[in-house]
Structure 1
């Protein structure tokens, strides 16, 4: 029933030689999978397709065209390879002209109301749990449910701070930075550091070397070879089907549980141009020292230190709270929801920019609008859209121009979809199913024409 011991030893030894897989293999072993919450409600005006829904004629036509390429994707999403067929893209001005001008209007009272709603619900849940739930093992399931619900609600605070970082919250910059700094610091996010790295992400969306977050390795790179070798090891030990499933489970845990701290501390999944980065220390060894490639050039270094002040203060506040109320209280009321927030933000960014038939581009083939139109909108349902301010269902427009406030994003999305139906990407697969497809199929990319694709040979 079990492989020889030497096979296990060879497998684990091989795996730890590759840094991006090492953490998972040392810490995880075999782990289970938690299904993402997926209410069956509409995105703007379309229903999410059920798992076994028949493909549309347009999707079938796209798949037939893609199958004629020299190499084709490892699988098809609900897009049917649509993104792989696009070669001409509209200019930024053409897209802006299609969006109603008032979609750029910011309302400080309206933004504050959304911030107050997310913060109020989060604090309300925390106070209610503190008053109602005893810190006893018999209530572990109730505390786990509290963590999931409160973390899901608190993600709305994270999204509001993210909007502040983009300058989409208010024309009052001081107020905007105060709100963003406060909310992000409360969630242990270095506000200005992440503001800068996230701006780099927007400026280089789906760029193979300059991209920032969720940049796939090529099949011939060291990272790509390591990832493929680890999966091959799983397949050898457990068979192809079970091996791929176990490797997919590992990828899920790596991304959702460890992905966010790994990104902040080491720049995990960032493009190779900037090397290893750190959101708390903008100097070497976490900086190239070159203005064209370092993540925090010039005055941004001082903003990193300013972000650190907030994080140290927050950690101090949590430590003081633990000294008064006990570490278990802090872990239950704050730690659980904090981990769930991290899972949500990685899930969103991963699925917004990754799928089996959505490409990346190199420098000579990439431009801003081409990258923006590789962003993917998905069906999160009314509940999550309300709690998370439509961050997952209007993300294409957000990458076209991140200064559009979230409360205008639905209208702007409809306008872009109507004007550019061939370019706008809406992938209707239910979130849990899409997440599993991405974690099991999206490993490494190869060049097909001018695109880098999660490809396989004919």
Structure 2
């Protein structure tokens, strides 16, 4: 008995068949041999005309099977090699018929696939990702030998200078715009109240940015003044200044570091699968209600004394006392003057507007499918701060009321840069490091990408959507994918 040699390289193969079936099998096998012979000549032309992904499945997909032969792709897209392997032979004890075939050869077909992925670091691939994610620019990978000090050293010294006049100007802008917002709420008819709340919520976000500068010691040369102004600026937001400062410093020190960053970070798959109730809650939290999820972050991180070091507890208690005093005095005063409805109109709705911006700004700053989170042993400060931070342009009135907080890359390169110098610092970074930076203008496609893709951590792909790992309970994500606009 002549058998097909191992790996499919013999002269022929044997199959035991019933004599009454011999003509049928002979015809079938002979036809198969003819087809394989024709494929050697026709395949290259077919591959040029058709999308290779239609003809050949990728190396991680099931091979195409046809009439007892298996065609598999053993090489990356761009070059396809076909090899045929005969399935196990029949065991029936009937007369043996051997049909001689020519020696099997590996057929090489050079193709130009239409949908083959481009190299991750190519300009064409980055352009493709920009269009897909809603970015204006996705930066090149930063070389490993670049340090954060190298980047800081290229910034002009003037961007680090504190100007008390400019600092006072930012306070006046926020106070005036907030007062105007309260006046608009008081005088607007019910159908214009959403506009008044949007303005007032954005204006009170400016107070947060002032406190943010104070926490980074970039507001005033007098540190006592910074602590007082920071505490007062945070009071309308019910934010305890010192607890926030301690946690925010950790965010800057560990930006985009897994388990260490105190801002937004991906959900770990092991945590996600632990509890079914948690799964449903986190899907909503990272999906439909993500634009106000900073409320949970505010509540979880800033009022629990167990989350702080012993040397921080004293300052934390002072801040908490200030916040509770504001609530005990300010809220009853609002209710006394305007009633419960007035408390909702004048405080709650602008506060929710602030949290919308707080959530949106924070997740856009560091969240995109191409921006990785790294474990502590793989983390690189320069890459995290320069390439792991996103510059996003918003309408000019938002930029003014929020004191350019979204000119965010220089702020992460050095948090000692005052908010009123961020644009000058950003211009310098563009001149020296522009090709490594991520930039966008706010658009619906950008938000849709974050809300429907950037969910669960994956070391190779950065993020996996909830729809991929738990499709049966990911209806909120599917809903967002259907209804959210896709304008860029």
State the match for 2:122 in structure 1.
61
Alignment of 1:238-277 (within 5 A): 251-257=286-292, 259-266=293-300
Q: 2:425 aligns with which of 412, 420, 423?
A: 412
Q: Contact 1:77–1:355 (CA<8 Å) still a contact in 2?
A: no
Q: Contact 2:390–2:409 (CA<8 Å) still a contact in 1?
A: yes
CA RMSD of aligned residues (A): 3.2
State the match for 1:389 in structure 2.
403
* Residue aligned with 1:99, SS: coil
How far has the Cα of 1:349 moved from its partner? 0.5
* Residue aligned with 1:299, SS: helix
State the match for 2:317 in structure 1.
305
Q: Contact 1:321–1:330 (CA<8 Å) still a contact in 2?
A: yes
Q: Contact 1:111–1:169 (CA<8 Å) still a contact in 2?
A: yes
Deviations 1:436-456 (A, max 9, x none): 2100111112112xxx61259
Distance change >3 Å, CA 63–CA 297, structure 1 → 2: farther
Partners of 1:384 and 1:126 in 2: CA distance: 17
State the match for 1:216 in structure 2.
266
* Residue aligned with 1:437, SS: helix
Larger radius of gyration: 2
Partners of 2:431 and 2:262 in 1: CA distance: 29
* Residue aligned with 2:358, SS: helix
Q: Contact 1:358–1:453 (CA<8 Å) still a contact in 2?
A: yes
Alignment of 1:192-231 (within 5 A): 192-218=242-268, 220-223=269-272
State the match for 1:282 in structure 2.
305
State the match for 1:158 in structure 2.
208
Query: Relative contact order (C-alpha < 8 Å, sep 6+): which is higher?
Result: 1
Deviations 1:246-285 (A, max 9, x none): x98864543223x12211222xxxxxxxxxxx312212xx
Partners of 1:140 and 1:127 in 2: CA distance: 14
Distance change >3 Å, CA 129–CA 64, structure 1 → 2: closer
TM-score (norm 1): 0.69
* Residue aligned with 1:426, SS: strand
The structure with the greater share of residues assigned to strand is 2
Partners of 1:165 and 1:263 in 2: CA distance: 18
Distance change >3 Å, CA 353–CA 455, structure 1 → 2: same
Partners of 2:274 and 2:248 in 1: CA distance: 28
Aligned length: 347
Partners of 2:251 and 2:276 in 1: CA distance: 23
Q: Contact 2:399–2:405 (CA<8 Å) still a contact in 1?
A: yes
* Residue aligned with 1:421, SS: helix
Partners of 1:380 and 1:347 in 2: CA distance: 11
Partners of 1:141 and 1:154 in 2: CA distance: 22
* Residue aligned with 1:194, SS: helix
State the match for 1:422 in structure 2.
435
Gaps of 5+ in 2: 1-117, 469-488
Partners of 2:222 and 2:126 in 1: CA distance: 50
* Residue aligned with 1:209, SS: coil
